[in-house]
Structure 1
C-alpha cells in the first residue's frame, strides 16, 4: 500500500489545495455543500453509496458506506466546516512553503478528508476488504458544536464497536485519547438605571453585581481536577454617567470527568442565586455542549491496535489528552471505543498560520488504511 500512496502524493496534495480554496465556514452553506459534492463524486467512483442529509441552516451532512457493506462496525467521522469567514480563501489561498502547506482549514480538517478518501482507495486497489466494514459521516457543523449533526452521529454510532475521529494529529504526531467536556453559559444581570451624578442612590448597578459574580466564577477553576471556568466576554451599561441597568458575562466551562457536569452546574446556579447588590436580578442560561472523552479500557484496546498498525509501517504511536472538544465526545459518551487525532499532522489550527506537515499526509493515510483493515477483522 505504501508504494501506491507515495505514487499519489502530488495528486493527494492537489485535492487538498482544491478543498482549502473553497470557503466552508460553519455558516457558509454554499461552500460546505460544494465540498460535499466533490467528495460525493469521489466516493461514488469507489462504489460507495452516499446519502445526503439535507440541512436548511447548515451545510448538508453525508453518510457514506460501500454498497456491499453489511452492518459495518467501524464509524469514521470527519467534518467539512472550518472556523473561517467567507472570503478567507481568496485572501490567503493554499500555498506550499518547504514541507508545509498553509491555508484556511488545511489541517483542521481539509487534509483529513483527503486522507480518508485515499485510505479507502488504497484498500480497494490493493485487494483489501476493510472498507466494507466502515460507515462514514462527514458533517458540516463540528466547529460550532455539531448542533445539527450530533443526533445523526449518535444514531449511526448505535451498534458500532469502534469510532475513528479524523481531527488532525497533535504537532508531535500524538493521537488524542481524552478530551475535556465543554459548555457555554450566559449570566444576565438586570439592574436599575439612574443618573450617576444627580441621583445615584436610585440606581442598582448590574455591572457591580456582575463583578462579584465574575470573581466567584473564576474561583471555580481547579487545574488539578481539570476544571476550567473562564469569563471570556462581558457586556453592559449604556453610558459612562449612567448606572448600568444591564450587564452580561459569557462563560466557557471545561470539565475532565462526566460526573463533574452536575457538580459545576450546581455551583454556577449557586453563584447566580446569590445577590450582592439588592435590587438586581440574575438569570443563568446555557448548557454543557459536549461530554468529556475519558480514556478507558476500551480506548486502550483500540489504541493498542493502532499502535500495532503503526509499528508495522514504521510509525511510533503516542497519545495525549487535550482541552478542546470534538465529535469524539459524542461516540465516547455512548460507550464506543474512540480514538481521535487520526488525521495528518498539523498545527496552529484556527489561525492565519495554520499548517499541514506535507509528509504526514501520505504517512497518516497509510496508517488509517492499515488500522481500518485490522479493525475490520475484529468483529
Structure 2
C-alpha cells in the first residue's frame, strides 16, 4: 500500500532516532526522551497524549484521538529496552542490506513506529477507525511492568480487542498464547563455624538451600506446562567456613490460571520446614504475570487477522511461547488478545538484535487493516 511503501525511509529515519537513545528500563531520562518524541508525533496527528508521571522509572503515555469516543481497541507497546547506558553510542543503529541493527531495534522501537504510521495511514485514508483505538506506551515492560500493570488492566476495561506490539517471531508468526511467570527468592540463614576446627558448631545455609533446590525441581511438570527453575544461587563466606547465609532465585512458569495457586502453595510447603537443624528460611515472591490463554475469543481475533493477511497475500501463522509480555494482563482481563503484531526480527536482548526491513511496511499495513476490520 502506497501510504506505507512511500514512507519506508521516513519510518526508518525515526527508528534510527529512537534506537540511538539509551532507554533501558532504569534510565528514566532516556525512556522519557523516547516518549517525548513519540508524544509530539501523535499530537501532530490530532491525538491527545496523557503523561502518567513516574518518580523513578520512565513515564507512561496514554493516547487517544481528540475525536475518540469509547474506543474498543487497546494497543500496548513498551518504550524501554534491556540495555545499559552507553550501548547506543557503542553500537548505534546500522543497516546491512535488508536488516537494521541496534539496541531495541526490534524490541520494540520498530513497533513504536509501526503503530504511529498505522494511525497516520488511517487518518490519510479518512477512515474513522483511528477513533476506535486507545494506545498505552509503558516504560517498564522489560522488568515486569511493575508500575504499568495496573494502568494496562484499567485501560482493558470495556475493550473488545487488545493488540500487543511485541515483535513477530523469526518466522513471522504472531503469538496467541504465553505462559505465566513468577519469581521467588529463598533467603536461608545458618550459623558460621570454622570447617576445620569446629564444623559441628555450624549450620550450613548452603546445605539447606541444596535440599530446597532438589525439592523445588521435583515440582516440574513439563507435560502440563509447569516449570520451576532455581537459576541463580549465592552463599557462603569462604571455602573453610560453614556458610551462614545463602540465597536462591527461582523462576516459575505456568500455562493456566488454576496452576498459579497450586504451584504457589507447593513452593510455600517446600519452604515451610527446614532439613538442616538450626537454619531458617524466608520465602518472598509471587506469580507476577498470569498466562495468556488461547481461548475462543482470541481464536476469533486471530482468524480475522489471518483473513486480513490472506487478502494481502500474507500467510499469518501463530505460536505459543514461554516468554512474558503485557499480553498476559489484557488476556487475564477477558479481552481478546493477540501479541507479536510488530515487524519481524530476531535476537532481541543481544548485540545482534535485528529488524527485517521489508516487514516494517508489511506488518504496519497488517496492523492498520486489522484495526479497520475489527472496527
Same fold (TM over 0.5): yes
Structure 1: give runs of 5+ residues left out of the alignment.
Answer: none
- Unaligned 5+ segments in structure 2 are none
Alignment partners' CA distance in 1, 2:280 and 2:34 = 47
| CA distance in structure 1 between the partners assigned to 2:160 and 2:48 by the alignment | 21
Return the offset for 1:269.
Answer: 1.1
Bigger drift between 158-167 and 222-231 goes to 222-231
- TM superposition shift of 1:221: 1.5
Show CA shifts across 1:74-112 (max 9, x none): 000000000001110000100111111110000000000
For residues 135-214 of structure 1, the aligned pairs below 5 Å read 135-214=134-213
Residue 261 of structure 2 aligns to a residue in which SS?
helix
Instruction: Say which SS state the counterpart of residue 176 (structure 2) adopts.
Output: strand
- The residue that corresponds to 2:314 in the other structure is 315
Q: Secondary structure at the match of 1:224?
A: helix
- What corresponds to 1:346 in structure 2? 345
The correspondence of residues 258-297 of structure 1 with structure 2, limited to 5 A, is 258-297=257-296
Aligned residues: 375
Mapping 1:77-116, distance limit 5 Å: 77-116=76-115
Q: Residues of 1 paired with 2:70 and 2:125: CA distance?
A: 23
Aligned Cα root-mean-square deviation (Å):
0.7
Compute the displacement of 1:274 (Å).
3.1
Partner Cα distance (1:335, 1:213) in 2? 36
| Structure 1 residue 375: Cα displacement | 1.0
SS at the partner of 1:273? coil
* Distance in structure 2 (CA, Å) of the matches to 1:237 and 1:186: 17
Aligned equivalents of 2:259, 2:195: Cα separation in 1:
42
* 1:46 paired to 2:45: yes
**SS of aligned partner of 2:211:** helix
TM-score by length of 1: 0.98
Give 1:240 shift: 1.2
Query: Runs in 1 of length 4+ with deviation above 4 angstroms?
Result: none
Compute the displacement of 1:73 (Å): 0.5
Quote the Cα distance in structure 1 between the aligned partners of 2:278 and 2:34: 53
